[in-house]
């Protein structure tokens, strides 16, 4: 099974979760109940945020029994400020495409990138790891030859003939150095034997040597870390890098005094890969429904990454499909008739949700086209189409609100006494027992926050969050729904202080920056 997600961009418009007046009583009742189940209230978000922060702290303290968050120190200490220069190879593996890039960092917050994508077939996603690594090595060789890379190198790091490469590997890896890390588990449909428990850098370096490709793997980074570094290159002091795409995850800057798993840190800060897709895998806090449970049970990694399965592009379509079938079976949709296509696992892609949510026409004919052409549902009424759209809105909105929760939790951790943003005087300030900034403000009707202008006047940087991933970039209303959730959790001035920005090509540029950090800096190790 594999799924990538590239939905169509869409205009914004207002939307409603209220059942429609033309629906039958039974339709209104069942859809009203579904709306209830899929809505995540501010107080639920609050509870989830508090538990998330507790789990972050447990992970940082090395108490893996009390947390599902791996909180992996990445050995990337320090963030770029846009002055860095040099050319590096970058590799990006995390889904159905492998991308090989040459990144030229120009030193003025700008860069140039050439890249080539190679399809990772379904077979390779399950093949032995040595086969996957050989494929990667050969793809790198193909890129170097076809792009005449040697002639494009503008400034060769350390004058060596060997090309330095940064590897963005978007799976959970525990790192022991910036260029060493062991795969914890596969996610997003990959299951290659021979990789879990082994060092990914070593596996790739061996494949490069085996295939006589003169490239040195200098750094290994998660895509969230790459995104954070790449966004810092444009916006120094970026605090979070997050992915909302086929999968989801976040990385942020931690004060090393807060990382109890590291002894005698020599740097003040370090980027932590949270691996938040695995948050609350035992479902103690998350509002999981029978539709989520069904998806999880039938996935190739049941019982893990439950949070990711409620949020990311690989899974949203399948949750929606489960709900549609549930409605069909009660004769509340399509007059009780499904199609062979809709009955198939994973057949309802998240990109259809994106297209469906962007249809603002009255008759919803574009939705009819998807139902007919892509899903073989030829008999569908306008009410059917309204119901399909309504279901997509429930699933899409919940995903955005849960994404906001994780982001808000990381910002609160940053503002806490041990966190990296503490003492910087941000107006979004937590004091003990005062977790609920947003709800306190709402309840008391008082505004304890100041605007960005005053933040800037105080000499403070806004809190930048660099985000990559097709769900954030293209799913209708995702950003707006996320900002709504963030505001409920962090207060009414959040929009001015917390700046969400798209970090395009985070994986490529970030990997290049990591290679630069690794080859020019002393590498910090345990
Ligand atoms: C992986 C993370 C990755 C995220 C986004 C998750 O499935 O575990 O390492 O950052 O997907 O690509």
Q: What is the CATH number of the domain that holds 370?
A: 3.40.367.20
Rounded distance, CA 517 to CA 270, Å?
13
| Whole-angstrom distance, CA of residue 45 vs CA of residue 201 | 38
Whether 356 is covered by a domain: the verdict is: yes
Tokens representing 171 are 């799976």
Residue 229 and residue 219 in contact, taking contact as beta carbons nearer than 8 Å = no
Find where tokens 């594999």 sit: 2
Domain presence at residue 399: yes
Atom of ligand 1 lying closest to residue 173 CA: 9
Whole-number Å distance between alpha carbons of 30 and 10: 29
To the question of pTM greater than 0.85 for the whole model, the response is yes
3-state secondary structure of 201: helix
- Which atom of ligand 1 is the closest one to the Cα of 305? 7
Q: Are residues 284 and 419 located together in one domain of the fold? A: yes
363: Cα separation from own chain's centroid: 34
CB 176 within 8 A of CB 526: yes
Q: Is residue 154 located within the same domain as residue 42?
A: no
Q: Domain span at residue 56?
A: 1-10+29-74+235-504
- Residue 259 falls inside a structural domain: yes
409 within some domain: yes
148 lies in the same domain as 208:
yes
Ligand 1 shell residues, CB under 6 Å: 94, 170-172, 187-188, 222-224, 243, 247-249, 275, 277, 308
Check residue 154 and report its DSSP letter: S
Instruction: Residue 103: give its domain's CATH number.
Output: 3.30.420.40
User: Does 495 fall in a domain?
Assistant: yes
* pLDDT tens per residue across all 526 residues of the chain: 334 444 333 333 344 555 577 899 999 999 999 999 999 999 999 999 999 999 999 999 999 888 999 999 999 988 899 999 999 999 999 888 999 999 999 999 999 999 999 999 999 999 999 999 999 999 999 999 987 776 555 455 455 567 899 999 999 999 999 999 999 999 998 999 999 999 999 999 999 999 999 999 999 999 999 999 999 999 988 999 999 999 999 999 999 988 888 877 678 899 999 999 999 999 999 999 999 999 999 999 999 999 999 999 999 999 999 999 999 999 999 999 999 999 999 999 999 999 999 999 999 999 999 999 999 999 999 999 999 999 999 999 999 999 999 999 999 999 888 888 887 767 654 333 333 333 223 333 333 333 445 555 566 678 999 999 999 999 999 999 999 999 999 988 788 789 999 998 888 999 999 999 898 753 333 3
CB neighbour class for 350 (10 Å; exposed up to 12, middle 13-18, buried from 19): buried
Q: Are residues 152 and 239 in the same domain?
A: no
Query: Residue 109 Cα, ligand 1 centroid: separation in angstroms?
Result: 27
Residues 323 and 458 in one domain: yes
CA-proximal residue: ligand 1, atom 11 (nearest): 247
Residue 85 Cα to ligand 1 midpoint, Å, equals 28
Closest by CA position to 261, among listed 249, 252, 270 = 270
In a domain, 470, yes or no: yes
Tens of pLDDT along 355-380?
999 999 999 999 999 999 999 999 99
Task: Return the closest-CA partner of residue 356 out of 3, 7, 20.
Answer: 7
Indicate whether 64 and 86 sit together in one domain: no
Q: Tell me, what DSSP letter sits at residue 199?
A: B
Residues 174 and 311 in one domain: no
Q: Which atom of ligand 1 is nearest to the CA of 95?
A: 12
Token pair 């939905």: residue: 7
DSSP 102-115: EEEEESSS-EEEEE
Phi, psi angles (nearest 5°) of residue 219: -150, 150
Question: If you measure from the C-alpha of residue 440 to the centroid of ligand 1, how many angstroms do you get, rounded to a whole number?
Answer: 33
Whether residue 314 is found in the same domain as residue 165: no
My answer on whether 91 and 198 are in the same domain is yes
Say which residue the tokens 């922060």 belong to: 53
User: Which residues, in sequence order, are bridge partners of residue 104?
Assistant: 87, 112
Whether residue 135 sits in one domain with residue 194: yes
Task: Give the gyration radius of the chain's Cα atoms.
Answer: 23
Question: Closest residue (by CA) to atom 6 of ligand 1?
Answer: 247
329, 311 contact by CB (below 8 A): no
For the chain, the domain total comes to 2
Which tokens belong to 493?
């001035």
Return the sign of the alpha-carbon dihedral for residues 437, 438, 439, 444: positive
Q: Are residues 216 and 281 in the same domain?
A: no
The reply to whether 66 and 89 lie within a common domain is no
> Which of the listed residues 190, 221, 252 is the one where a domain comes to its end?
221
């Amino acid at each position: 099974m594999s799924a990538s997600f590239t939905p169509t961009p869409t205009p914004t418009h207002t939307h409603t979760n209220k059942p429609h007046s033309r629906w039958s009583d039974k339709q209104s009742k069942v859809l009203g109940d579904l709306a209830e189940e899929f809505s995540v209230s501010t107080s639920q978000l609050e509870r989830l945020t508090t538990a998330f922060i507790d789990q972050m702290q447990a992970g940082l303290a090395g108490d893996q029994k009390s947390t599902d968050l791996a909180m992996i120190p990445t050995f990337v200490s320090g963030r770029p400020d846009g002055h860095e220069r040099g050319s590096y190879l970058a590799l990006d593996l995390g889904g159905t495409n492998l991308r090989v890039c040459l990144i030229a960092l120009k030193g003025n917050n700008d860069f140039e990138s050439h890249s080539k994508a190679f399809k990772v077939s379904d077979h390779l996603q399950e093949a032995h790891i040595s086969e996957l690594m050989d494929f990667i090595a050969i793809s790198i060789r193909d890129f170097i030859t076809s792009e005449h890379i040697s002639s494009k190198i503008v400034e060769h790091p350390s004058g060596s003939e060997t090309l330095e490469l940064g590897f963005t590997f978007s799976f959970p890896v525990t790192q022991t150095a910036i260029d060493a890390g062991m795969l914890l588990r596969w996610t997003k449909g990959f299951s290659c034997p021979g990789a879990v428990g082994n060092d990914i850098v070593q596996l790739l370096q061996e494949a490069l040597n085996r295939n006589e490709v003169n490239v040195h793997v200098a750094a290994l980074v998660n895509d969230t870390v790459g995104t954070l570094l790449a966004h810092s290159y444009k916006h120094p002091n970026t605090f979070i890098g997050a992915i909302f795409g086929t999968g989801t995850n976040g990385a942020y800057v931690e004060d090393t005094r807060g990382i109890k798993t590291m002894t005698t840190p020599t740097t003040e800060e370090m980027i932590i890969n949270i691996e938040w897709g695995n948050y609350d895998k035992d479902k103690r806090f998350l509002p999981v429904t029978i539709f989520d449970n069904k998806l999880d049970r039938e996935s190739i990694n049941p019982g893990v990454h439950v949070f990711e399965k409620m949020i990311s592009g690989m899974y949203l379509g399948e949750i929606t499909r489960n709900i549609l079938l549930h409605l069909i079976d009660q004769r509340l949709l399509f007059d009780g008739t499904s199609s062979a296509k809709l009955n198939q696992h994973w057949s309802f892609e998240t990109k259809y949700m994106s297209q469906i949510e962007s249809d603002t026409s009255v008759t919803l004919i574009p939705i009819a086209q998807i139902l007919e052409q892509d899903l073989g549902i030829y008999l569908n009424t306008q009410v059917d189409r309204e119901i399909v759209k309504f279901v997509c809105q429930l699933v899409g909105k919940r995903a955005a609100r849960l994404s906001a929760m994780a982001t808000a939790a990381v910002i609160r951790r940053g503002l806490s006494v041990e966190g990296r943003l503490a003492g910087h005087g941000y107006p979004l300030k937590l004091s003990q027992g005062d977790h609920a900034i947003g709800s306190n403000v709402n309840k008391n009707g008082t505004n304890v926050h100041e605007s960005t202008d005053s933040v800037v006047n105080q000499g403070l940087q806004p809190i930048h969050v660099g985000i990559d991933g097709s769900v954030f970039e293209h799913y209708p209303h995702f950003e707006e729904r996320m900002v709504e959730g963030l505001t409920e959790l962090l207060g009414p001035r959040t929009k001015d202080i917390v700046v969400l920005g798209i970090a395009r090509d985070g994986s490529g540029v970030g990997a290049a920056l990591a290679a630069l950090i690794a080859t020019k800096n002393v590498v910090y190790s345990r």
